[in-house]
Amino acid sequence: MSTVLSLSFRHLRWLWCVLALTTAVLLSLAACVGGTHTTPAGAAPAQTVSTVKIVEVNDKYMFDPTTLTIKKGSQVLWTNMSDASHTVTSNTGAFQTHGTLAEKQTFRFTFTTAGAFMYHCTVHPYMKATIIVTS
Ligand SMILES: [Cu+2]
C-alpha cells in the first residue's frame, strides 16, 4: 500500500515538473512573438514616447519638429509621412535606421544618455534635426 502511494506521489512530482517546464517555455515564447522581445504587461513602467514626423513642405523634406527636447530614458518614434524614402542617421553614429524608411515606415530609438544628438538624412543631406536629451 505504501509503495503504491509513494509511486503515485513521485508520478505527481514528475508531472508537476513537466508542467512547470512547459509553462516556462510557453511564457518565453510568448515574450518573443514577432521577433521582438516585449516586457510582460505591468512589469515595467510606461515609457514616454515622443514623435518626429518626416514631412514634405514646399517641395522640401524635413523632420518635424526640427528640435525635440525629451527626458533621458524616453523613446523617439520617427514616422515617414512623405512619399520619398529617408534615413534617420545620427551625426555621431549613436543611432541610425537600417537602410531607408519608405512611406509610413517608422524607426524607434530610446535615448539613455543626456546630451544634444544631431542627425540627418543621408538621402537628403539638407535634412537636419536635433534631439536634446535632458537628465
Ligand atoms: Cu530624406
Structure-model confidence comparison of residues 45 and 50, the more confident one: 50
Is 121 labelled a binding residue? Answer: yes
- 133 has a pLDDT exceeding 60: yes
Q: Are 52 and 80 in contact (CB under 8 A)?
A: no
Cα 15 to middle of ligand 1, angstroms: 58
- 116 has a pLDDT exceeding 90: yes
Q: Are 91 and 120 in contact (CB under 8 A)?
A: yes
Gap between the Cα atoms of 37 and 73, Å rounded: 18
The model's confidence at residue 9, banded by pLDDT at 50, 70 and 90, is low
Cα 69 to middle of ligand 1, angstroms: 21
Class of domain 49-134 (CATH, top level): mainly beta
> In residues, how long is the chain?
135
In this prediction, residues 37-45 reach a mean pLDDT of 57
Cα 101 to middle of ligand 1, angstroms: 9
Give domain limits for the chain: 2-35, 49-134
Residue 66: strand, helix, or coil: coil
Structure-model confidence comparison of residues 25 and 119, the more confident one: 119
Residue that has been written with the C-alpha cell 551625426 in this structure = 91
Look at residue 47 in the predicted model and tell me its pLDDT.
84
Is 124 labelled a binding residue? Answer: yes
Cα 23 to middle of ligand 1, angstroms: 46
Is 17 labelled a binding residue? Answer: no
Look at residue 33 in the predicted model and tell me its pLDDT.
44
Cα 37 to middle of ligand 1, angstroms: 29
Look at residue 43 in the predicted model and tell me its pLDDT.
61
